[in-house]
Amino acid sequence: MPGKLFFAWRVFTEVSVAMSRAYEIAGSVWNTPVPVTWLDRGARRLMAGWVGGLLVCSTLTGCTSLGWFGPREPQAPVVLFGDPGLQEVVAAVNANSGSIRQLQTTSASLSVRGLPGLAADLALERPQRLRIRARAPIGSRPQLDLGSNRDHFWFWVNQNPTGLATNSASPVYFARHQEFSHGAAPGVMPLQPRWIIEMLGVTSLDPDAAYQLSAGPGQLTLQTQIAEAGLPLIRRVVVDRRYGWVLQQQFEDATGTLAVAHSSRFRFYPETGVSLPRRIQIQLLPGRQGEVAFQIDVSDYVINQLIGAPSRLWQMPALSGHPRVDLAHSQQPVHGEIQTAGGAADGDLGSSAFRPRYRGLRQLR
């Protein structure tokens, strides 16, 4: 240790003198010496010494103890080597998310092109509990609530974001899981919430399913057929060739693409041995009239623990003055609410088709 300290001091001294001398030479070349009254030679050497010291400190120790240079993020391990086989890829993906039961962040942002960014929080509990809430950064006025509990899923967008309109009541659209394929529900949520959870970075692959594996530059693509509400869907999963990260997921049916998710900016959490994306871009019904697209950026996650009371976290919102619309049965709003065993509200509705409009939720930022 004394040898290292002596070497650091020698480098510190030499850098200080060299920077001071370079400063003087530059002043003479450009014929613009610094006035002595403003910065004398001693002060210049002191400044150069500080800069040199910072350089030496950052080179030798990282200065993490001083807080000037933040600690480096943990490096994710390489889990796939050479030309991995199908089972190796499936096992790598499942190993990354298999230990995650719950996931939450209260320091996220949600952005839509053309609109100001929103502060957001996200929570999920496998297999189908989900909550994404977004609010205005100033005033904290709620702007979006998307969620799923044991019995229902729901979607609400504030169509009066400023609160100035007096006759604008944005409905809460909802449906029971078992009635997902009925009425207008697929037009609002083209995939069941469990697939939305998968697109948020907690991806699992059936090891017994039949996959087609193809390789590209730095990536591997798995394609398989799944059943959704009794109808066949094509699912494509793009995996990083070294780290096993799920970079993209895409779902298609006979009519075209239903949803696409892109994940990036991964961070490795050594405590749990998992990597999670800090940027997620989701497009529902891309290229169609009812397209919904948004981007979620996350600062950090809490893994396998939840903040707040779960009974409230997974409960459908009861927004005063905002009616509820059962997408499986009717287009007319429901003002009466019936509490179910799952803690969510239900309604008794008629039957007709409905397609909601989400003002502003169109494209990714």
- Residue 292, domain CATH: 2.50.20
pLDDT in tens, 313-324: 999 998 888 899
Q: Is the per-residue pLDDT at 362 higher than 70?
A: no
Q: Do 50 and 127 fall into the same domain?
A: no
Q: Do 221 and 270 fall into the same domain?
A: yes
Amino acid at 296: I
Long-range contact pairs involving 224-233 (C-beta distance under 8 Å, separation at least 24): 228/191, 228/192, 228/195, 228/253, 229/180, 229/181, 229/186, 229/192, 230/181, 231/181, 233/258
Q: Do 121 and 239 fall into the same domain?
A: yes
91, part of any domain: yes
139, part of any domain: yes
Query: Which structural domain range is residue 94 located in?
Result: 86-149+185-316
Q: Do 53 and 91 fall into the same domain?
A: no
pLDDT in tens, 178-223: 887 776 777 677 888 899 999 999 999 999 999 999 999 999 999 9
pLDDT of residue 30: 47
d(C-alpha 191, C-alpha 229), whole Å:
9
Strands (E), 136-230: 142-148, 152-157, 172-176, 212-216, 219-228
pLDDT of residue 209: 96
Q: Do 48 and 124 fall into the same domain?
A: no
DSSP character for 307? S
Q: What are the structure tokens assigned to 124, written together? A: 């999920």
Q: Got the DSSP string for 60-85?
A: HTTTTTTTSSPPPPPPPPP---SS--
Find tokens 């619309």 and name the residue.
325
Domain end residue (candidates: 316, 338, 359) = 316
154, part of any domain: no
pLDDT of residue 318: 86
174, part of any domain: no
- Mean pLDDT of the 263-268 span: 98
321, part of any domain: no
114, part of any domain: yes
Query: Percentage of residues in the chain with pLDDT exceeding 70?
Result: 67
d(C-alpha 11, C-alpha 14), whole Å:
5
d(C-alpha 113, C-alpha 281), whole Å:
12
Q: Is the per-residue pLDDT at 118 higher than 80?
A: yes
Q: Do 193 and 306 fall into the same domain?
A: yes
Domain end residue (candidates: 287, 316, 345) = 316
Query: Percentage of residues in the chain with pLDDT exceeding 90?
Result: 50
For the full predicted model, state whether its pTM sits above 0.85.
no
pLDDT of residue 341: 33
Indicate the number of domains in the chain: 2
pLDDT in tens, 32-89: 554 544 445 554 554 455 445 544 444 444 444 444 455 688 999 999 999 999 999 9
290, part of any domain: yes
Q: Do 34 and 128 fall into the same domain?
A: no
Q: Are residues 108 and 297 in contact, defined by beta-carbon separation less than 8 angstroms?
A: yes
179, part of any domain: no
